[in-house]
Homo-oligomer: A and B are copies of this chain.
Amino acid sequence: MKLRIKDLSFVTGGAFVSIMNSTDAREIDLHPGDRILISMNNKKIISVVDLSEDEKIKKGEIGLFDEILDYLKTRKGYVNVKIAKRLKSLGYIKKKLEGKKLNRKEIFEIIKDINSNNLNEVELTYFVSGCYSHGLSMHEIEDMTDAIVKAGHRLKLKKHPIVDKHCIGGVPGNRTTMIVVPIIASLGITMPKTSSRAISSPAGTSDTMEALANVSFEVNEIKRIVEKINGCIVWGGVVDLASADDKMIKVRNPLRLDPEGLLLASIMAKKKAVNASHVLIDIPIGKNAKIERKKEALKLKRRFIELGKDLSIKVKVIITDGKQPIGNGIGPVLEARDVLNVLMGNGPMDLRKKGIRMAAEILRMLKIKNPKKKALDSLNSGKAYEKMKEIIKAQKGHIFRPEQLKLAKFNKNIHSTRSGIVKEINNKDVSKIARTAGAPVDKKAGIYLNKKLRDKVKKDELLFTVYASSQKRLNYALELVKERNPYVIS
């Protein structure tokens, strides 16, 4: 059936959706939610079809959302439409939902269809449900990791060793990557780090690095940078190392599901995609961190190590203190200032210590002697800082000193209403306030923490400062401070 494109000028956020007139649909016995194969010239795309009962989409027309138009590289003309065959992967998803194990072929088929946008949100949700309800065996996790790696791009570096790190997350300000990469790279070891942007936190490593340099590079550019200077700190989203995974994350959000198997496959696929030989995993635990109990952390640790073995990646897992934010600044610019200060030999001490520890752990994995001393020397001698400047330059940045980074124009100091000891700084409340102030989209916004756990506080002493780029945003954040002050002092 030949139909004229009607440009709907709307983004669905990923799914390939089209709308047909119900009379046309009836002619080919198409029901809402069925799939059609849309073809134009040599391009073919599978779309989920909705039906228009009235004249918004006329007979002979097909309404297309931006995702399909972008794929077809046109906004007008005629397309051919026919009913698409039932996807084999739907049967496999049903199988998983029934608690049966999937084999390698079935997992590859599902990941292929996720990657090609062939599955709609409801179907993807069924798959995530199956993985969550019944868990994934180590076999399934390995196959899934492989499938994700093979469906995405890869960074083909001819180096050995290649090291990488990952943090499970949940702790604001935890920007150790930006300390560890320069230390490791300054010692001549390859560390091609791809990071994420913030989803529900006030800053991801990519957001923070972006305060200093560009983070969006194609695979070939990343390769050139790393081959030249041993390290990089770039955004993984551009290189599309695990796009199937990114799509699953979207449907996991409404119920905040973290099916362990998917988490493991997702993280390790990204490491495999950069050809890592040694990977350090950081699992922070503590109240209001992502993982609250040690037992849970230990179980996850074992599975990381096992999966590493199957992928021929040496994995070390450290369980760290996640009870409070790391460093003092929360928000891209404030965190970038902390990072530069540490690289220049100053504080914040907790960020400095954690960075040194992690770098040392990586060196220890590589059987390098005196790992802690070597990491410390790199930092104290200024070599790590020089390496960071090289990385910033290679990534087209020009900011090398904390004072070059401007903070948001409006700010408000929050003082303690009593004397005592800081007993708690709630990670989630800190995140929420920094986000409400504008982070991460507004890089200059956020919170600066003046006191940390176990610090003594006098009445009326400064606890923290909120930064925002407009009085209105600042007021929103301050309202939240009244409701949910992250500090407990007693």
Where the two chains meet, the residues of A that have a C-beta atom closer than 8 Å to any C-beta of B are 9-11, 13, 26-29, 31-33, 50, 52-53, 56, 90, 93-94, 97-99, 120-123, 125-126, 129-130, 132-134, 200, 250-251, 253-257, 432, 435-436, 438, 441, 472-473, 476
CB distance from A476 to the nearest CB of B (A): 7
Q: Which of A9, A125, A476 is packed against the most chain B CB atoms within 10 Å?
A: A125
**A27 touching B121 by the CB < 8 A rule?**
no
Question: Which of B93, B97, B133, B441 makes the CB contact (< 8 A) with A99?
Answer: B133
Question: Which of B121, B134, B441 makes the CB contact (< 8 A) with A122?
Answer: B121
Question: Which of B53, B123, B436 makes the CB contact (< 8 A) with A255?
Answer: B123
Residues of B within 8 A of A254 (CB): 33, 90, 120, 122-123, 126
Residues of B within 8 A of A253 (CB): 33
**A472 touching B27 by the CB < 8 A rule?**
yes
In the docked arrangement, what's the CA distance between A228 and B438, Å? 67
In the docked arrangement, what's the CA distance between A25 and B114, Å? 29
Query: Given A121-B122, A255-B123, are A432 and B29 neighbors across the interface (CB < 8 Å)?
Result: yes
In the docked arrangement, what's the CA distance between A27 and B133, Å? 36
CB distance from A95 to the nearest CB of B (A): 10
CB distance from A141 to the nearest CB of B (A): 19
In the docked arrangement, what's the CA distance between A97 and B129, Å? 7
Residues of B within 8 A of A33 (CB): 250, 253-254
Question: Which of B13, B50, B473 makes the CB contact (< 8 A) with A27?
Answer: B473
In the docked arrangement, what's the CA distance between A200 and B121, Å? 22
In the docked arrangement, what's the CA distance between A129 and B128, Å? 10
In the docked arrangement, what's the CA distance between A11 and B121, Å? 18
CB distance from A34 to the nearest CB of B (A): 9
Residues of B within 8 A of A10 (CB): 56
Known: A97-B129, A122-B122, A130-B133. 11 other contacts (CB 8 A): A11-B53, A13-B50, A26-B438, A33-B254, A98-B132, A99-B133, A122-B125, A122-B251, A122-B254, A126-B254, A129-B133
**A26 touching B441 by the CB < 8 A rule?**
yes
Residues of B within 8 A of A435 (CB): 29
**A476 touching B56 by the CB < 8 A rule?**
no
**B255 touching A132 by the CB < 8 A rule?**
no
Residues of B within 8 A of A99 (CB): 133
In the docked arrangement, what's the CA distance between A485 and B450, Å? 79
Residues of B within 8 A of A473 (CB): 27
Q: Can you name the residue of chain B whose Cβ is closest to the Cβ of A35?
A: B254
Question: Which of B93, B133, B432, B441 makes the CB contact (< 8 A) with A97?
Answer: B133
Residues of B within 8 A of A90 (CB): 254-255
A-B contacts, 13 listed (Cβ < 8 Å): A13-B32, A27-B476, A28-B476, A31-B200, A33-B254, A98-B132, A98-B133, A121-B122, A121-B125, A125-B126, A129-B129, A129-B130, A133-B134
Residues of B within 8 A of A13 (CB): 32, 50
CB distance from A134 to the nearest CB of B (A): 7
**B29 touching A97 by the CB < 8 A rule?**
no
In the docked arrangement, what's the CA distance between A122 and B252, Å? 9
In the docked arrangement, what's the CA distance between A53 and B250, Å? 17
Question: Which of B26, B120, B257 makes the CB contact (< 8 A) with A94?
Answer: B257
In the docked arrangement, what's the CA distance between A94 and B250, Å? 16
CB distance from A425 to the nearest CB of B (A): 20
CB distance from A86 to the nearest CB of B (A): 10
Q: Can you name the residue of chain B whose Cβ is closest to the Cβ of A91?
A: B255
6 nearest CB pairs, A to B: A129-B129, A125-B125, A133-B133, A122-B125, A29-B436, A122-B254
CB distance from A135 to the nearest CB of B (A): 11
Residues of B within 8 A of A476 (CB): 27-29
